Amino acid sequence: MRDVSLLLLALAFFFIPGRIVLYFVDGDDELGTGPIVRWAFAFMLGLGCISLQMFFYSLAGVPYGIVYIAAPWAILMAFMIFSGKGIITPKGGSADFLRSMGLTGLLALPIIISQVLYAFIYGIVPPISSWDAYQTWFFKANVFFKDRGVLASFFKTPLVHPDYPLLVPLSAAWVYTCLGYVNDVLVRAIYPVQYLALLLIFYYFVKRFSSVRTALVFSALLSLTPIIMVHGAGLPVRIGELYTGDLVGYADLTLSIYFLAAAGFFYLYATEGKKSQLVLAALFLGLAAWTKDEGTVFALFGGLMVMAHMAIAGKKSEAGWKEVLLFIVILSLTAGPWAVYKAALNLPGEYERTAGLATFINNLNRLPAILRFMGFIFFGKVSLYNLTWYAYVAANIVNFRRSFRRPLLFLNLFLLAQISAYVFVFVITHLELQFHLKTSVDRLALQLTPLAMLTVAASYVDLFRSKEPEGR
């Protein structure tokens, strides 16, 4: 019982800083997230807040401890509650939720609930067991907990992927800090909560441009995607091409949520133009870069799209460029510290020595094999991704004229640019090509699956809305 209480304490302090950040960005709930969805966004922001706080503590020589880490957030939260800021019960809500879901939504909701219940019940039964999850992410968490900080000397020892960002291992180290010891079972609780956060965040974006009913249907489809459950809670059996049914402990589910949130808020910003949407897009892009190297590429694409949107939309006023500056500052504060730290320690990126144009040109003969294998995973492994990628292609064909116009264009560009980056890495990789493809493409597809599903929903809603009589 003591361990469960301490685990709940650890999880609570992921929610609290994220909720505080959301209040400062969108205190009046102008974005209409409502009280439940807002806590989902808060959890994902809180993972970034706590892990960055722990990283900065290491740089300042402050040892990890529950009081040191939790006290600043607890004091600030208490102050905001007692000053009547409405931080616990924000404006907005879902009073008309049951009335709006209709029969279709009523059928979809039990599916979502059953999947979430499974994730929480099974998710913390087995320990972290996947080899990559432990050697790449949780080994570091173990060391950071025992060292009570991120020590530069640690990165001078032989390591697997020393250049990888630290959001996941530091988040796990926070759980260990609260528990007082390393527990590879209870720490898994982070992942079912992320699974629930993913569904709520996805629901919010679809509902924002459609309806409760449509959002529930698409959320139910996403909840039934096996590869997401394999990373969110694990399955007792192996499926598809995977060597195991349990990949809990990787960073790819976390990254997929940051991709979804960043692209979703940028889509809304391109549609509605609210500054808070741009701020949140920047925060989630920066946290994606703090999660995995693939997130850095995604963040760079996001920055380019912000610039392009400002130029195309004619936002060349002083106010428009102030928003661009704000975007750059936020991105720098979240993604920049690790980049600077890596440079200071001279931690080379995994593909730096092979990333030249000459290598790319010399290895272009790999392209057919790469595209065949990626196509096989995306479209041949229905057992892992359902029909998500077929639906994505079909949506763009059916709605072709609108899919490549703003704002739908931005969602497609996020996806296509990221896939292009993956192809580029496989072309220049120094690893044996087939081995690299077999051990990574399934996870790369997972990173983009929620965003692909969001693009499908946005495309079909846009198409049918354009064909309906005005006002219907």
User: Between 470 and 431, where is the model more confident?
Assistant: 431
Contact 272, 280 (CB under 8 A): no
CB 373 within 8 A of CB 268: no
Kindly report the number of other CB atoms within 10 A of residue 413's CB atom: 18
Q: Provide mean pLDDT across the span 170-198.
A: 97
**Whether the Cβ atoms of residue 446 and residue 228 lie closer than 8 Å to each other:** yes
Pairwise CA distance, residues 124 & 140, whole Å = 20
Banded model confidence at residue 19, pLDDT cuts 50, 70, 90? very high
Percent of the chain surpassing pLDDT 90: 69
Per-residue pLDDT tens digits for 422-462: 999 999 988 899 999 998 999 999 999 999 999 999 998 88
Structure-model confidence comparison of residues 159 and 172, the more confident one: 172
Of 156-160, 300-304, 318-322, least confident by mean pLDDT is 318-322
pLDDT of 91 strictly over 60: no
Q: What is the pLDDT, as a whole number, of residue 372?
A: 95
**Which token pair is 106?**
């009523």
The tokens describing 400, both together, are: 């072709």
The predicted model gives 191-213 an average pLDDT of 95
| 438 exposure class (CB count in 10 Å sphere: 0-12, 13-18, 19+) | middle
Comparing 114-118, 143-147, 224-228, 461-465, the range with the smallest average pLDDT is 461-465
| H helix runs in 28-84, sequence order | 34-60, 66-82
Residue pair 302/281 in contact (Cβ under 8 Å)? The answer is yes
pLDDT, the chain, mean: 90
Q: Which of 12-26, 330-344, 348-362 has the lowest mean pLDDT?
A: 348-362
Neighbour tally for 98: CB within 10 Å: 12
Name 123's Cβ contacts closer than 8 Å, sequence gap at least 6: 188, 189, 191, 192, 195, 232, 233, 234, 248
pLDDT of residue 90: 52
**Each residue of 242-255: pLDDT tens digit?**
878 899 999 999 99
Cα(141)–Cα(153) distance, rounded to whole angstroms?
15
Q: Give residue 85's pLDDT.
A: 64
Interacting residues of 182 by C-beta distance below 8 A, sequence separation 6+? 142, 145, 146, 176
Furthest CA-CA distance within the chain: 66
CA distance 289 to 73: 24
Residue 84 has φ and ψ, to the nearest 5°, of 75, 35
pLDDT at 472: 40
Instruction: Answer whether 254's CB lies under 8 Å from 201's CB.
Output: no
What pLDDT score was predicted for residue 81? 84
Tokens (6 digits) for 459: 């495309």
Q: Residue 318: its pLDDT value, please?
A: 56
User: Does residue 466 have a pLDDT over 80?
Assistant: no
Is the pLDDT at 354 greater than 70, yes or no? no
- 235 by Cβ neighbours in 10 Å (0-12 / 13-18 / 19+) ranks as middle
Is it the case that residue 383 has pLDDT exceeding 80? yes
DSSP assigned state of 351: T
